[in-house]
Amino acid sequence: MYIESYWGSYIGGTDDSLTLLSLLEDFEKDEIGLGEIFARTGLKALEERASSLRMTGDALRFTNREGLELNFYYAIDLIGDLAALHLECLRSGSVNLQDLDEGLEARNIRLTASSEEKEVLRAALLDFAEHAKEYDITEVMDETSLAEFREELKALRLELFES
């Protein structure tokens, strides 16, 4: 997997990552637009309000096919995971859900993005790089962890948008 160096710690290794994988598994198609994910999770509405990606609150959630509501705790976790998965799809063409979590069914999906959706990812990753201490995720991260997460997202942003 191309994103193996990113996936599994701060990116791909959180409760929000598991929720995202549940969402991706819940889609009944193999090509999924980021806009569909933004709309289904509430990220689109959150992103449209200035600086609201910094303070998630209880705005991000989705209801799966079985009627169970699942929450995302931190918007920046969701953004980082989506950016990594988008990079994997750009480099490898798709991503196998089982490569992300061995407990999932083997199924290749492809994340697609419009230029506007890519800009949402780019802008959010850049904002986090510049204002990490203003994000709600600081409530669960010490300064060292926050700095490491910031550097991982910075490297991901550079690879995704500047290489």
For the chain, domain boundaries: 2-161
Q: What is the pTM of this model?
A: 0.95
Both tokens of residue 18? 């598991």
3-state helix, strand, coil in the chain (%, to 5): 60, 15, 30
Q: Work out the pLDDT band at 111, boundaries 50, 70, 90.
A: very high
What's 66's DSSP letter?
T
Handedness of CA 56, 58, 62, 66 (dihedral sign): positive
pLDDT tens for each residue of 22-77: 999 999 999 999 999 999 999 987 776 655 789 988 889 999 999 999 999 999 99
Asked whether 109 and 33 are in contact (CB, 8 A), the reply is no
